[in-house]
Amino acid sequence: MGKKSSAKRTQVVVAEGADVPVVGMREPCPCGSGRRYKACHGKAAAAAFVGATRPFEGMASECDIVAMREIVPAASTKLALTGEHADRDVTLVTVLPLAWPALVRQDGSILLGLQVNVGSGDASRDLADALLGALEAQPGDPVSIGRVTAESPRLQDLVDPDAVLDITVHENFDFWVDESVEATDDVRASLERASAYAHPTVRLSSVPSAYWTQMGEKEYLRWVLPQDEDVVLNGLARLHAAGADTIGEGTRCIGMFRTQGVVVPVWELPVGTGASAIEAEVADLAGRLDTAMASTEPLTSDERRARAGFTTRQITLR
């Protein structure tokens, strides 16, 4: 998926005093504020309980799950359940129509949505709760999230945590549509709205959990890393001070952000670069970064300044 979306962006604005409907986290808030839902009315949807700082820790594909929840518009992957439900067909997706947490298709297969901005504050336990609800629901029924506590099961308790997920990035949300989803006006509007805000995105094959994207007239690489934040920052600082943190001519590391307990450095690329052109460069960078993160030498003054720069450049490119 490397082309720029030409879909017309639409926004539903609710009347003053009316209830604000739940939409996908990345979509514009229906209140008309101009902000994304997760930064506006979605904030108030979370309950008081806040779970693990790193909710998907221990899963082999932790960073890809974080990417699907936080930065990838349209993607899906099969989950391998354990125990009595090992035979059920479950697909983890970025977002579902009307931001449903889950739904059951007519054939009994389950779609489980990641980008849900309601729940406990612990994404893993919320997913597990939605999955458990879907396992008991009738075909065609959407599933809501119940009351989640610190004792509620995590996604890691229901699936094989050692399974490496095969992520498929989609150009649009056509994978939603089948006889299980009634094509109501609300569903059609949700599909159009989600597709309009689905920036072209490609998952790199040369390194794990790295995603190229085009946003407007700019291109970026966002790379979800599993190492502790201090280790990543020190490694990036060593590379930056040595002028070795680029991924080709005209590229630069513009900062990072934290989400779901992990760090996501971001590189800006020249317009027209594309994902395939940086595969080899990112693989080379991965080797340099691994070496830099493994170093136990104290940071030099230049490296300390570089690290300070990274910590102050907390970007919101999500």
Nearest-angstrom CA–CA distance, 159 and 180 = 24
Beta-carbon count within 10 A of 260 CB:
21
pLDDT tens-place string over residues 230-253: 999 999 999 999 999 999 999 999
pLDDT score at 10: 40
pLDDT score at 317: 59
pLDDT tens-place string over residues 190-238: 777 777 778 999 999 999 999 999 998 899 999 999 999 999 999 999 9
pLDDT at 119 over 80: no
Q: How confident is the model at residue 14 (pLDDT cuts 50, 70, 90)?
A: very low
pLDDT score at 38: 63
Cα dihedral sign, 92-224-211-197: positive
Nearest-angstrom CA–CA distance, 282 and 297 = 25
Going along the chain from its start, the domains and CATH numbers come out as 37-196 (no CATH), 201-312 (3.30.1460)
pLDDT tens-place string over residues 140-188: 877 888 888 889 999 999 999 999 999 999 988 877 776 555 667 777 7
Beta-carbon count within 10 A of 70 CB:
22
Please answer whether residues 211 and 203 qualify as being in contact, where contact means their C-beta atoms are separated by less than 8 angstroms.
yes
pTM beyond 0.95:
no
